[in-house]
Structure 1
Amino acid sequence: MSDAVVIGGGVMGCLSALNLLEAGARVTLVERSELGREASWAGGGIVSPLYPWRYSQPISALADWSQGFYPGLGRELAELTGIDPEVSSCGLMWLDHDEQADALSWAQREGKPLLSVDADFIYRQVPGLAPGYRSALWQADLANVRNPRLMAALRARLLQFPGFTLLEHTPVQSLLVEQGRACGVRHAKGELRADAVVLAAGAWSGEWAAALGLSLPVEPVKGQMLLYKCEPGWLPSIVLFGGRYAIPRRDGHVLVGSTLEHAGFDKTPTEQALASLRESAQRLLPALENQAPVAQWAGLRPGSPDGVPFIGELSSLPGLWLNVGHYRNGLVLAPASCRLLADLMGGRAPVIDPQPYAPAGRLESVRVR
């Protein structure tokens, strides 16, 4: 495996770099600000799409592979770095959902352990829920990962490789192209030459590509979150109702999210979102009415037209590889997406059929200036 430059220090960039390093490549990761501080830090960390039965097979294939991979990844990172990403199989409960028939049919087809449960089960599993829930869907094996710790562990693991270089606070200014092929990048401090360039810049990928004359339909979609502090174990499982969720952490923190806003690159938390998320939190868990959130923040998802990421080499510009456009499912899809990318770059048999994610035929009006 030859040298590679990875643009973007989120979970996609970091896991892409890790896979390439493990395959023997030398990798330089270039991040415009600080590694792991954008959407990969801001998200909830549920290791599942919110409503998995709604998604197409390409997304399900990535999610299935990643869900099986995460527990081992968490153990390995904890052992090698001393930072535990806290991959916790706490289960997920969908409350009073009007798509139960569709969900159960999907689960039967896919062999998923999704159950329909009654009120007695609901309140035994999550005693702190608001009264009145009569039925729910329950999947006991679904996990959440404490994504800020995951990103810290990935950073520590990458820095253990002698063939890895990290450049933070280093915006990429342009792509180096010679004889119709990407051969590196130019930044404020100089040039980096490589056999391959990987674009994994999250919500900034579309803007970055546009500056190069490439048309890539990835745009920022803002999401805001609240954080509460409760006693460890107070919320045993993830609960979801009406598109809003509460996620437990091992130390008692509870995340509540999230909004879905088209506001460009503005990450400013708003009073409107605070009120809306607090209302959702209290509707799910009435005890939260008596305490204020300890934090509020926003992140920018990499929105794409159908949520199916672009993974593969640009046929119009060999040497430039994409791993972008995961929208709301970046954390859950990352392990599979990054393994697939590394397989394709290394000429190995891919772990998943790469065709649904290939940029060829999916990107309109791609051109290079």
Structure 2
Amino acid sequence: MTCMYDVIIVGAGVIGSSIAYYLTEQGASVLIIEKDQPAKGASGAAGGMLGAQAEIHTAGPFYEMAQKSREMFPELACKLREKSGIDIGLVQKGLLQVAITDEQTSELETLMTFHQSQGQQAILLNGKDLFDKEPHLGEDIKAGLYLPNDHQVVAPNLAKAFLYSATANGATLLTDTEVVSIIKENGKACGVKAEAQSYFAKSVVIASSIQTPRLLQPFGFNAEVYPVKGECISLRFSQLPIQTTIMGKGCYIVPKRGKRLVIGATTKPHDYTKNVTAGGITSLLTEAMKLVPAVDDGSIEHVWAGHRPQTVDGLPYVGKLERVEELYVACGHYRNGILLSPITGKWMAEMILNHEKHPLLAHFSPQRHEKEVNV
């Protein structure tokens, strides 16, 4: 059998596109197959926060992986812009987690101590210092934990920059093409079967979000990757009321270029629908106006919904399926796909091409929920 490609990647979201970019940077020939259009799923719907501290509050491999990935963005932004012509919209103004109650303030104090113990910056603000930082915060806000290194990007731009950089390096992209199954011969993955034809490669990577289990279950991948629907709204202003990303208990508010605020996101597990509900948007705006009352002055620009791929233990699956040679998986990043996309792509490329497995990947093994089957 002649292999047309070194690697086939199923899924052209931010994770699949990142893997393709890092593979092609090392000279690999790559075919990317996407059942819809690129970045139409979770990647295109994300708020773009790089919340390595805001989203992860316990020490361990996941926290460490997130810090490593966040550190890659400044240099990566330059490289992707040079290669693809796309500005990923990196804004380095940090993130402010806010507290409205005494209990929430105590939680922020605990988080500050934790982050500082891990060698990360975290500054507790209250009183004049807090409102000097963001003068238009709601008067009921008691404190804020400023995380100066939790930045943000434009999520769809990042996904497209990875993808276009990969194609600039020679990758081939097939859109509107659904993969039906994985082709295996002599215990080795050697291609995929689509509806119209089959494609062959030395290695196969499944990075197709909530579709991943369907393709991998025949090979012992007994893991649930389920959708968590999130609804968002963007507002346009004559003058932005905030400069820093604000995160509260009920929502986040991200200032974007073009005098826009993105407010998200509802959390609806196992909801496969794509509609945006009045109740969801009402809830977001109600919570946002508690944090920044001037949200009330914004003009509605756009509402949308996306599906974030979640796993049963909250950790992504990143690595090789041991039961089948040359079959890899990268999915289930949930709220952190944008943040973790650089490190996932880099480590996956090293594993596939150089057989180098980063020690942290042992904690995200696809085998951790494997069932006993003969494949």
Amino acid corresponding to residue 364 of structure 1 in structure 2: E
What amino acid sits opposite 2:19 in the alignment? S
Aligned to 1:316: 323
- Aligned match of 2:216 in 202, 209, 215? 209
Q: CA deviation at 1:353?
A: 2.7
State the one-letter code of the partner of 1:339.
K
2:158 aligned to which of 131, 150, 153: 150
Q: Secondary structure at the match of 1:18?
A: helix
SS at match of 1:195: strand
The 8 Å contact of residues 10 and 36 in structure 1, kept in 2 or not, is answered as yes
Contact 1:204–1:220 (CA under 8 A) maintained in structure 2:
no
Name 1:78's counterpart in structure 2: 81
Q: Structure 1 residue 232: deviation in Å?
A: 5.7
Q: Are positions 1:20 and 2:23 aligned together?
A: yes
Task: Supply the AA of the counterpart residue of 2:272.
Answer: F
The equivalent position to 1:30 in structure 2, one of 29, 33, 38, is 33
Amino acid of the residue matched to residue 54 of structure 2?
Answer: Y
TM-aligned CA distance change 1:116 to 1:130, over 3 Å: same
Deviation at 1:278, TM superposition (A): 1.3
2:370 corresponding residue in structure 1? 364
**What SS is found at the alignment partner of 1:273?**
helix
Normalised to the residue count of structure 2, the TM-score between the two structures is 0.92
Match of 2:48 in 1: 45
2:362 to 352, 355, 361: 355
Q: Tell me the equivalent position of 1:99.
A: 107
- The answer on whether the counterparts of 2:250 and 2:284 sit within 8 Å (CA) in structure 1 is no
User: Taking structure 1 as reference, are residues 243 and 208 closer, same or farther at Cα in structure 2, changes over 3 Å only?
Assistant: farther
Residue 340 of structure 1 contacts residue 352 of structure 1 at CA under 8 Å; is this kept in 2? no
- CA deviation after TM superposition for structure 1 residue 52, in Å: 4.0
**CA contact under 8 A between 1:130 and 1:283: conserved in structure 2?**
yes
What is the aligned partner in structure 2 of residue 268 from structure 1? 275
Which whole-Å deviations, capped at 9, do the CAs of 1:107-163 have from their partners, x for residues lacking one? Answer: 12211110111121221121221112221111122210111221232232122122x
- Residue pairs, 1:84-163, within 5 angstroms: 84-96=87-99, 97=104, 98-162=106-170
- Equivalent residue number for residue 294 of structure 1: 301
How well do the aligned residues superpose, as a CA RMSD in angstroms?
Answer: 2.0
The one-letter amino acid of 1:133's match is I
Q: Are the aligned partners of 1:85 and 1:147 in contact in 2 as well (CA < 8 Å)?
A: yes
CA contact (8 A) 1:36 1:148 kept: yes
What is the rounded CA distance, in whole Å, between the counterparts of 1:67 and 1:232 in structure 2?
Answer: 29
> In structure 2, do the counterparts of structure 1 residues 109 and 296 end up closer, same or farther at CA, with 3 Å as the change threshold?
same
Listed one character per residue, the Cα deviations across residues 227-256 of structure 1 (whole Å, up to 9, x for unaligned) are 111246532000111141100112211111
Q: State the one-letter code of the partner of 1:80.
A: K
Contiguous gaps of at least 5 residues in structure 2:
none
The alpha-carbon distance between structure 1 residues 271 and 285, as it changes in their structure 2 partners (threshold 3 A), is same
Q: Which amino acid aligns with 1:92?
A: L
Letter of the structure 1 residue corresponding to residue 303 of structure 2: Q
Q: Is the 8 A contact 2:69 2:343 kept in 1?
A: yes
Distance 1:196 1:165, change over 3 A: same
2:236 to 205, 225, 229: 229
> 2: distance between equivalents of 1:61 and 1:279?
34
| Cα distance between partner residues in 2 of 1:147 and 1:231 | 23
Q: Do the aligned residues in 1 keep the contact of 2:18 with 2:159 (CA within 8 Å)?
A: no
1:278 and 2:281 are equivalent in the alignment: no
The code of the aligned residue for 1:138 comes to Y
Match of 1:181 in 2: 188
For 2:21, what is the secondary structure of its paired residue? helix
TM-score by length of 1: 0.93
The separation in 2 between residues aligned to 1:124 and 1:343, in whole angstroms, is 45
**CA spacing shift, 1:305–1:51, aligned 2, 3 Å:** farther
Give 1:66 deviation, angstroms: 1.0
Cα separation, partners in 2 of 1:290 and 1:251, compared to 1, 3 Å: closer
The runs of at least 4 aligned residues of structure 1 exceeding 3 Å deviation read 49-53, 210-214, 231-234, 348-352, 366-369
Q: Out of 41, 45, 62, which is 2:65 matched to? A: 62
